């Protein structure tokens, strides 16, 4: 759940910057002037979080395949975590980078807008993770149901196709049945 929330927080942060400055070049200049230096690593972190989320979903598929019960789904309270991360990020950014006071941060309308967008992104994230978790578990159960079926899709054991049997008759050369046999003694 946490990797998905990191992605949701990044999405909410990007939406806030987009609403604040819709022009792409203006947004880049704004972030270059006021943004922190770690923003370049955000795409790598998001990609890593997506990989971890895929691994978690694969675990849900395996759990369903092994007929384990579906574990608890994530709580809706997790949607507030991106809001808290955004508020902490903005607070530290203003206090450390800009050197402004806390009152100027509270008066900034971007903080309220960002909190609302972060909450929406968090709710969407929790909804998607809950739906994907259930779907992955059901996919594992469906795969387990297919385990005993042959590839042709028919039930039962595949039977070999009977072919005509031609009996082979061998004549023993010692009793005169062969044309090139050693001489019979006796």
What pLDDT is recorded for position 168? 64
For residue 102, count other CB atoms closer than 10 A to its CB: 10
By percentage, how much of the chain surpasses pLDDT 90? 6
Instruction: Measure Cα distances from 47 to 79, 133, 178 in Å.
Output: 20, 19, 80
Residues 89, 133: contact at Cβ < 8 Å? no
d(CA 137, CA 139): 5
Q: What is the DSSP letter of 161?
A: P
d(CA 89, CA 83): 10
The radius of gyration computed from the CA coordinates of the chain, to the nearest angstrom, equals 35
For residue 119, count other CB atoms closer than 10 A to its CB: 17
* Tokens standing for residue 174: 């010692």
pLDDT tens by residue, 90-107: 777 777 766 666 666 666
Phi, psi of 102 (to 5 degrees): -65, -30
Of 14-23, 44-53, 102-111, 176-185, which has the strongest mean pLDDT? 44-53
pLDDT band at 135 (very low <50, low <70, confident <90, very high): very high
- Return the minimum-mean-pLDDT range out of 1-10, 41-50, 96-105: 96-105
d(CA 103, CA 34): 18
């Amino acid at each position: 759940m946490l990797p998905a929330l990191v992605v949701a927080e990044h999405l909410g942060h990007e939406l806030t910057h987009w609403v604040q400055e819709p022009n792409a070049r203006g947004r880049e200049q704004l972030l270059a002037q006021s943004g922190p230096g770690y923003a370049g690593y955000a795409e790598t972190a998001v990609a890593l979080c997506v990989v971890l989320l895929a691994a978690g979903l694969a675990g849900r598929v395996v759990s369903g395949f092994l007929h384990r019960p579906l574990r608890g789904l994530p709580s809706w309270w997790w949607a507030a975590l991106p809001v808290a991360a955004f508020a902490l990020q903005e607070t530290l950014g203003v206090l450390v980078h800009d050197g402004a006071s806390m009152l100027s941060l509270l008066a900034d309308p971007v903080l309220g807008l960002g909190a609302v967008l972060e909450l929406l992104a968090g709710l969407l994230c929790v909804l998607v993770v809950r739906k994907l978790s259930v779907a992955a578990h059901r996919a594992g159960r469906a795969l387990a149901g297919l385990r005993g079926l042959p590839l042709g899709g028919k039930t039962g054991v595949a039977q070999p196709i009977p072919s005509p049997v031609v009996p082979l008759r061998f004549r023993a050369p010692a009793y005169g049945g062969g044309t090139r046999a050693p001489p019979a003694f006796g």
